[in-house]
Structures are given as structure tokens and as C-alpha cells.
Amino acid sequence: MRFREGLKKTLANRLALMGGLVVLALFAVSWLAPVISPHDPNQMEIRLRLRPPGTPGHLLGTDSMGRDVLSRLIWGSRISLKVGFVAVGLATLIGLALGAVAGYRGGLIDGLIMRFCDLMLCFPSMFLILTVIAILEPSIWNVMVVIGLTSWMGVARLVRAEFLSLMTRDFVLAARAQGASACRIIWRHLLPNAMGPVLVTATLGVAGAILMESSLSFLGLGAQPPTPTWGAMLTEGKDHLARAWWLSLYPGLAILATVLSYNLLGEGLREAFNPHNAARQG
């Protein structure tokens, strides 16, 4: 019930609804990339290099290799969304498992998990990711795994706090009194009631993961050429900034719109699932 009420409040929030619609549009664009892309994103035509927006057949212009910018933007959305969901999915699974164990068991196990979480939080995530990526071979899969393995701490702390709060509720005490197993209590009673805040954190985390992937691709540590990514397009654009402004403008706007949409959706979900707001409205 709490989850359904939260979704209804989110749909009533105009900014969150706008962000959600943009996210759905991005999903549609990435899914239909083979159909709606006007050109092969890696097709080079040197004679058409650095053509400005509005060139016949190239709505957003071409890059230094004569590749269509619009096609590369469309295919780049696939990489960004894939990184966001795979990385956040991995981080959420790890955070859910560790947070659930820590919150339910308590005691020594809780202390060990939380101290390990604090230890991970001591390292600046960007530098930690750069170090691991520099050791491993740069690839999009390494980027997704490393971002996921270094982003689970917030979810774990949130799930632990939710479990500690829910453990004192009557329905959990009743389930224990009836002899329900730990797995049943966690999966049937605790996790469903803790998923609202986790959904909020995951939504905001997707925006952070996309921004992180763009930063790594900008530094040349993400997907390797000729794979089209928004960060790599920005890297190429900085070398032609005075002559070909569109090479930096359009991927920058794509990153801005995507991250802003996820943040708007995440903030709307946060307000909807915030128990203090619910109590105040009640």
C-alpha cells in the first residue's frame, strides 16, 4: 500500500512526471536506435568532415571523421543507459544483501559490515574508480562493474536503517511469534516495506553512474573507440571547440537532460516516499 501511494504522489508531481517522461523517451530512443538512426554511427565520410548542423542528410552536423553526430548521439544513449542500470543494479543488489543482513542480525555482524562500509566511504569514489580502471583494461563492462562495486554503501546504510526501524513494528513481532523463519520475515515483511527509499536511491544513482561513465569516457578510460559514447564525443569536441562547437554542445546537452531528468524523478520519489511528509499531510 505504501509503495502504491508513493507512486501516485510521484505521478501528481509535475517535475517528477516531466523527468519520468524524458526518461521514458530516452529508453524509447535507445531501444529504437537501429530503426531511427539516420546513419551508421561509425560510418566515416572524410569529404563531409566537420559539416555544421543543418547540412543535408546530417541534421546535427558531422564530426572530424565525417560521422553523423545525431546517429552517434542516439547510439550513445544505449551505452549511457546500460551503464546506469547495470552499475546501479549491481550496487543495489550488494547494498540490499549487506544492509538486510546487518539490520536483521545486528550485533557483531552488523558492526563488521558497517565498519567495512565506513572504510569504503573513506576513499574518494572517483579516485578509487580511476585506480581500478587504470589497472584493468579499459572497457565498458569494467566501468559498469567498478562503478557498481564502489557505489553500494549508501544503499546498505539505508536498508539497514529501514530494517532497524521495521524490526520493532507489530507485524514483524507477530511473524516472529508465529515462528516465521528469518528468510520469510526478510522477504515477505521487511524488504517490501523498505523498497520505497531504495527505489529513490537507485533512481538518483542512475544519474550519478551516467555522469561517472561520461567522465571516464572523457578521460579515455571508458568504452574504447569507435564505440559512440557521450563522454568520448565531448573529448573529441574539445579539440575542435573554436571551429566545430556542435561537437561539444549536443553531447553535453544530452548528458544534462538525462542527469537532470533522473534527478527530478528521484526527488519526486523522495518526497513521495518520505514518511515525514506523509505524516505531515495526514
The string of pLDDT tens digits covering residues 61-109 is: 999 899 999 999 999 999 888 888 899 999 999 999 999 999 988 889 9
pLDDT of residue 2: 59
pLDDT of residue 155: 92
- State mean pLDDT over 124-140: 79
Sign of the alpha-carbon dihedral angle for 106, 111, 116, 120? positive
Burial degree of 168 (CB within 10 A; 0-12, 13-18, 19+)? exposed
The string of pLDDT tens digits covering residues 185-243 is: 888 888 888 887 888 888 888 888 888 888 888 888 877 778 888 988 888 888 888 88
Angle formed by the axes of helices 14-31 and 2-12, nearest 10°: 90
Phi, psi (5° rounding) for residue 245? -65, -30
The domain ranges of the chain are 2-34+61-281
Per-chain mean pLDDT for the chain = 86
- By the 8 A CB rule, do 80 and 213 touch? yes
pTM for this one?
Answer: 0.83
- By the 8 A CB rule, do 29 and 66 touch? no
- State mean pLDDT over 169-184: 82
Give the number of other Cβ atoms within 10 Å of residue 57's Cβ: 11
Output the CATH code of domain 2-34+61-281.
1.10.3720.10
- State mean pLDDT over 146-175: 88
Model confidence at 277, pLDDT cuts 50, 70, 90, reads: low
